[in-house]
Amino acid sequence: MSCLHKRPKRTKSEEQAFQEKVKKIAQENGKRLGLEGDEDLQFLLVGGELVKIRSKSWKKNRFFKLQEDCKTLWHESHKTFRRNQTFSIDDIESVRRGRQSEGLNKHTDPSAEELCFSIIFVGRKKNLDLMAGNGDEAKQWVGGLDKLISNMRSLTRQQKSEHWILNCMRKADKNEDNKMTLKELKHFLRQVNVEVDDTYAAEIFKKCDKSNSGSLEGSEIKHFYDLLTHREEIDVIYGNYAQTEGQMSARDLLNFLLNEQREQVSMEDALKLIDKYEVDGAAKQNKCLSIDGFLMYLHQEEGSIFNPAHKQVYQDMHQPLNNYYISSSHNTYLMEDQLKGPSSTEAYIKALMKSCRCVELDCWDGANGEPVIYHGYTLTSKVLFRDVIKAINDFAFKTSDYPVILSLENHCSVDQQKLMAHHLVSILGEALVTKPLGNTMPTSFPSPEELRGKFLIKGKRLNKLDAALNNNSTIEEDTVSEEDEAADCKENGQKSKSKKSKIKLAKALSDIVVFCKSVHFNGFEHAKDNLAFYEMSSFKENKALNLADSSATAYMHHNTDKLSRIYPAGSRTDSSNYNPVPMWNVGCQIVALNFQTPSKEMHINQGRFLPNAACGYFLKPEFQRSLTSQFDPGTLSNGPWLKRKTFHVMVISAQQLPKINKDKHNSIVDPLVRVEIYGVPADNASKETHYIENNGFNPMWNERFEFHINVPELAMLRFVVEDYDSTSQNDLVGQYCLPITSVQSGYRHVPLLTKRGDVICSAGVFVHLMLVDDQ
């Protein structure tokens, strides 16, 4: 970036010319982002002073400014070795107006509400807490950044790619003369993750240097860009279907959509696509799709692997709550491990913003009579129960309207339990479900639709639910058996007690437990004969897995009218995760994972809840919702679940894979792609391509795989791109997971996500997919 490396002092006229050039570059990038002449963008490009806040005593003035690439924020730093710091707009998860972060809440006065805002980063990078000089400035910073993030995210993959490549070219232009020498061209190629030998680089250079001037400029750079981004595989596909004077007529396109993409479409749909994506006016007039228009279509959601119809809520949301898988978190308060990691309200916000619909609160007696949340018998930090409930109330329904379950692990004294009940009622207000929805005793759960915007409390209750309707209980407190997970927690804390250890429960807390009353599990027969629908059990992962193996059908029947919650074993002190798939296979709804730990298991969870508007609820297959069903994932008998299919996957190519080791200038990836299926045991499979040396920009494999799938309604598909290493474990480059039922057939682009589940801009894998019925 222009202001990041020292250069000789410029003369006045040189400085003027330089500033004009920077302004021009910013204008071009602003235009590319659809923000040409935008006031908020201009405000960010000029920049200004903000107060950076780290603690009550550490509050420093720092200058912040958007760079001319319209993608990088620069801010001054007074650290000796880091005079200037930058971060990308792509690294920002969200911008929050007001004192809506833990730091600002703690370290600023409520009167500064209008001046404050926070930049929240993806991953584990700490929030940036800032304060502007006045409310209007704060508003403009937040508005400008929001607009920039939103426009950046709504660029097509092709536009993101172009934006990225052109800015990489600018970085390679060391002397900023708008020309590219052979040396600069080699530097640029390494930057975009492709290693070429000197002969090949010289060859490309010669081909583009039409003027024989020894450097590329203007149209020569454009020619080089076209050569670099040319997709040979697209030429072949287009050529096969463009049967009308070298172009794709509407009839040719329809032929492609029906035969290759396996879509149920008409001529009208083909014409709509031409109108939407054709970039050439003459071709559009002739109702034809040029190769550029075709590439544009493939880069849009219509050309994505993920069925666009599943991006919104497409499932029936009026069924009882227990008929859905529910995205669920374990030890939600933790940011890291379970022994000494920090507890934070931020962890709840992150989980809720990912549409997690069941969060866990581990409650203990705190100082000054105020209950706290932390991992008992460990050195994890503590956070006030009241602050957590406030954060949950503020962020629960930002990404999904569907109900949130607060799973209480209660270790508090009666007095502090009463305060917990007070905080829940006073902070959550009308959104808290404190009694059954009607005037009569329900016999089944309400639906997610009926519970929109509501909170349910999961915990112990002193009596049956009908007592809430009859008002026949006057007991202020009584003893109940401790939660199964609480007992496990004590065992792991070397304070072993029997499973049936007791705690005293306050009536005030008991009364707000309505649809999720925690009870100990004493076997499926006992549950069937003695438990009401709202009485639910929690199972440690090992116990749940044993039951899923030995009594799969009974477990599934149990889940047709009750809820089951699964939680990780206490021995997972590093907050690692178990595989959720075997639990979903037997219809368990609340399969709680450590959201704070990026892992394959979390990728599968993110994939499971990607469809249905990623709302945190996904309707279980019909055969898991019926008491007459004899489905057993381990031994597949004939039934409505058995829909044998062959899944053909061709991994064709990848585009613009990120560098793994950005610090090592010469580190180029050697990518391979693995295709994985997770589902019933008979469907689990994994196959991988060979690796390609030194090319993360446009590697090509053209490798075919075949998978046999028995129960497609439970099957998950995961793509993994890794950097091959012969001496150590391969590094993850990117991954993407989704249910087979949401996959589109044909030629498709697969987006790639980081280990933490964030989108990698402009990177992707190009595949051909076909799911066909077995004869």
C-alpha–C-alpha distance, residues 181 and 106, integer Å:
53
Q: Is 60 annotated as a binding residue?
A: yes
Q: Is 251 annotated as a binding residue?
A: no
| Tens of pLDDT, residues 631-643 | 999 999 999 999 9
- The single residue of 330, 558, 749, 768 carrying the catalytic annotation is 330
E strand or H helix at 50: strand 48-53
Q: Is 53 annotated as a binding residue?
A: yes
Q: Is 331 annotated as a binding residue?
A: yes
Q: Is 412 annotated as a binding residue?
A: no
Q: Is 16 annotated as a binding residue?
A: no
Q: What is the pTM of this model?
A: 0.89
| Tens of pLDDT, residues 60-109 | 999 999 988 888 898 887 765 555 588 888 889 899 999 999 899 889 99
Least confident of 238-242, 374-378, 399-403, 546-550: 374-378
E strand or H helix at 270: helix 267-277
| Tens of pLDDT, residues 688-704 | 999 999 999 899 999 99
C-alpha–C-alpha distance, residues 417 and 420, integer Å:
5
Tell me what pLDDT residue 5 has: 40
Q: What are phi and psi of 187, to 5 degrees?
A: -60, -45
| Tens of pLDDT, residues 98-138 | 999 989 988 999 999 999 999 999 877 888 999 999 999 99
330 in catalytic set: yes
Q: Are 543 and 582 in contact (CB under 8 A)?
A: no
CA 361, 365, 370 angle in degrees (round to 5)? 90
375 in catalytic set: yes
For each of the domains in the chain, give its residue range(s) and CATH number, in order of start: 12-154 (2.30.29.30), 158-229 (1.10.238.10), 232-303 (1.10.238.10), 321-620 (3.20.20.190), 645-773 (2.60.40.150)
3-state secondary structure of 213: coil
Q: Is 362 annotated as a binding residue?
A: yes
C-alpha–C-alpha distance, residues 504 and 502, integer Å:
7
3-state secondary structure of 250: helix
Tell me what pLDDT residue 571 has: 85
Q: Is 546 annotated as a binding residue?
A: no
460 or 179, which is more confident?
Answer: 460
Q: Is 58 annotated as a binding residue?
A: yes
Q: What is the mean pLDDT of residues 150-171?
A: 79
- The single residue of 375, 411, 423, 603 carrying the catalytic annotation is 375
